[in-house]
Amino acid sequence: MTACPTGIAHTYMAAEKLTQAAEALGHDIKVETQGSIGAENELTDNDVSRADGIIVAADKDVDLSRFVGKRLLVVGVAEGIHHPERLIERVMAAPVHEGDGGGMGADGGGVGSRGGPGVLGPGLGAGRGTVYKALMNGVSYMIPFVVVGGLLIAVSLALGGHPRPDGGLVIPDGTFWKHVNDIGVIGFTLMVPILSGYIAYAIGDRPALVPGMIGGWIANTGALYDSKSGAGFIGAIVTGFLAGYLVLWIKRIRVPRFVRPIMPIIVIPVVATSVLGLFFIYVLGRPIAWVFEHLTGWLDGLTGASAALLGVLLGLMIAFDMGGPVNKTAFLFGAGLVSKNPEIMGMCAAAIPVPPLGQGLATLLRRGMFSEQERETGLAALFMGFFGITEGAIPFAAARPARVIPANMLGGAVAGAIAGLASVGDSVPHGGPIVAVLGAVSGVAMFFVAIGVGMVATALTTVTLMAVGRGERAGSAEGGSGAGAVAVPVARTGGVGVAAPGAADVLSGYLTARTVRLDLAAVRKEAAIRELAEVLAGTGQVRDVDALVTAALAREELGTTGLGEEIAIPHAKTDAVTAPVVGFARSAEGIEWGALDGSKARLIFMIAVPEALAGDEHLRILALLARKLLDPGFRERLLDAEGEGAVLGVLAEVR
């Protein structure tokens, strides 16, 4: 099962990665997704009973009660994206879920929830993971209310508003659009108690829901404790956690048997709601409201360089982990202030689409630097960026983190700074061009300028860092020459590029059409290893190209992998890959590889195997290749083969 706070991208990316990993490892798998539209591909009772183990990759509250008696592994959704093979191996040794608060280990190895379906339970304590999951659970339930409310308000103002003398728009009372606006305001009003309620629910289960929601309403109603604006989302977060842990504490109190049936439906909700509500009104309300009011006042006073600096900070956070905890923290900050200071959300909204749009643009600007699969992913990233889904850039960041993440952060910071300087406002807690199209943005022109400049900055930085990392290339690659020119492989009908899908697989499917390059552009060993690593990344089995290159070069330092006879087999044992993968490339001129016979390598195979499979499988692949490459006729056929199909036909002889 996979689930993330927003249920838009991470949920489905984790499901896809787990499915791919299971197929590669020879396991049957069924993945239920708890997305924003609800559960899909649901696990039936029969599915659960037949399963050897259950993996839950989730950053929100999910129902675990149906998995009692099964081996259960609960981790964050990011683990499902980045380490799917490892999860499949770990679940086979995971503890059996008893449903009584077993607790999550330090590595997220198991979970228990006393008395209900919450993913968090009393066994978890108050660790950072618990706090984050509870907070994200509240955010996931809050987002639909603020998006619907914000869009209805934006549409009603755009279509039914009339200019006011002092600026802004006003909707006449009694009109159709006034009623639409009122419905939107209700959505906004519910935002704070929903956030508080579902934070509490994630910690204390159903008995904590009512205290959390009522506590959140009290936090947002300043008149109850003599405050002008209330405690806002800060107060909601406080009441959510207080309600959750208060309910957990009450649950531990021993009561007579005859009282137990009414504890969860009467005693706990009534006591917790009363205690929390009165405590907030008399003790916490005013101090938190004071902090919130001064924070809002300080943000209102930001202009010029100060606003730009805040935009830079928010943009960096939004782009850093693309939907992860740092991104969500910045988003929550903007969303919580959207009704009082929409300029803060405007900075976030401008930065949100920059990573996917920038990476998509990079694949269009320098197509030869990217594999066919990456170019297809780039088009999808452009689409996701338009709709404000930052996670569209994750595949690129996973393959080249040292290059893509800094580029994303630069673009996000630029977009946030421009939006801050221009006082761009966003009345909806969402980002991307779509919110401007729907009329939720003020300062539309500068909003698009901010996104455009940030997108270009990300794209140019990405291709520049990739070019620098490629090292020396042949002086020209289809039209680039001269001092300082960086040559990149360009797809040609005759041979350069990744071979077309659909040809034969080799070495148990580890070497495929996707991992063949017929005309290597590199002229030095280090650059050739990087170029082959980037070819392997096109399979989706490489989570970190830089780490793979580092591991391969470290192996070269132990002794050359140049075998002589114009052959080199660089290899690496590293968790930078998720499954064994083998690449092949030919070099027309040959590359100096330190072979004992002095020959330059023209036939180059690259092998990458995860640490867990680094024993027999690694040696088996090496043995198969080495034995076949002893045949001079095989080497000659491999050098003379014209076109991808012919090369793959020769490689199919490796058995």
Q: Which residues are marked as active site?
A: 4, 571
Nearest to 31 by CA among 52, 6, 3, 7: 3
- Show the CA angle centred on residue 235, arms to residues 229 and 239, nearest 5°: 140
What is the C-alpha to C-alpha distance for residues 591 and 530, in angstroms, rounded to an integer? 14
DSSP secondary structure of 560-611: --EEETTEE--EEE-TTBSS-EEEEEEEEEEE----TT-PPEEEEEEEEE-G
What is the C-alpha to C-alpha distance for residues 242 and 92, in angstroms, rounded to an integer? 37
Between the alpha carbon of residue 252 and those of residues 64, 68, 241, 249, 595, the distances in Å are 21, 22, 17, 5, 70
Contact in structure between 31 and 18 (CB atoms under 8 Å): yes
Q: List, in sequence order, every residue forming a beta bridge with 601; answer none if it has no partner.
A: 591
- Helix, coil or strand: residue 323: coil
Q: Look-up: residue for tokens 């943000």? A: 299
The contacts of residue 340 (CB under 8 Å, 6+ apart) are 229, 232, 296
DSSP secondary structure of 45-66: HHHHHH-S-EEEEESS----GG
What is the C-alpha to C-alpha distance for residues 366 and 617, in angstroms, rounded to an integer? 36
The contacts of residue 147 (CB under 8 Å, 6+ apart) are 428, 429, 430
- Helix, coil or strand: residue 393: helix
What is the C-alpha to C-alpha distance for residues 469 and 151, in angstroms, rounded to an integer? 44
Nearest to 12 by CA among 293, 338, 488, 395: 395
- Chain centroid offset of residue 195 CA: 22
170 sits in which H/E element: strand 169-170
Nearest to 570 by CA among 540, 543, 536, 598: 536
Cα-Cα end-to-end distance for the chain: 38
